[in-house]
Amino acid sequence: MHTTAFLRSAALLAIGWGLGFAAAAADVTVFAAPALKPVLAAMAPVFEKRTGNKMVVISAPVDAVAQRIRAGETFDLAVLPPALLEALGSDGAVSDGSIIAVARDPAVPRSAGMYAAAVSTTASNSQPALSLLILLASEETQAVLKGHGLAAP
């Protein structure tokens, strides 16, 4: 990701974090690669306590998730390999400006073991989804990653 795009994304995320507190409680639907499911489960109570929103995680193999997204299934945030998110961004399914690296699997080659998150372009709960994206990119989540065999990006 280019530095300018990252800075733009970070600014949008900071706005989203602040607005996430003001919005009414919502369910944030997250499509996630199986490797991230335990991390999301561990961070759900933190997210819910901070924002009042509930995280609903749908985990499936990445190809199946991509197929569901391309078929138009509703979601708010996707946590998948960056190359897949970039392709989904080209398709208009996720905001390519919101793609942020969140984790990597140190047991596999760096490019193959990377995971990023991005907000759906049709998210019904985009502000809470941005708040969750910020949390997933935080140092707090990085500590949880280590406990599940993953590492910071």
Residues forming beta bridges with residue 118, ordered by sequence position:
78
Q: Tell me the pLDDT band of 26, cut-offs 50, 70 and 90.
A: confident
pLDDT > 90 in the chain, percent = 75
Q: What is the pLDDT of residue 2?
A: 42
Could you tell me which residue, 56 or 13, shows the higher pLDDT? 56
- Give the domains, in start order, of the chain with CATH numbers: 3-147 (3.40.190.10)
Q: What is the pLDDT of residue 24?
A: 65
66 class by beta-carbon count within 10 Å (0-12 exposed, 13-18 middle, 19+ buried): buried
Q: What is the rounded distance in angstroms from the CA atom of residue 27 to the CA atom of residue 7? A: 27
Taking only the tens place, the pLDDT of each residue in 76-128 is 999 999 999 999 999 999 998 899 999 999 998 867 789 999 999 999 989 99
pTM above 0.75, yes or no: yes
- Average pLDDT value over all residues in the chain: 87
Q: What is the rounded distance in angstroms from the CA atom of residue 60 to the CA atom of residue 62? A: 6
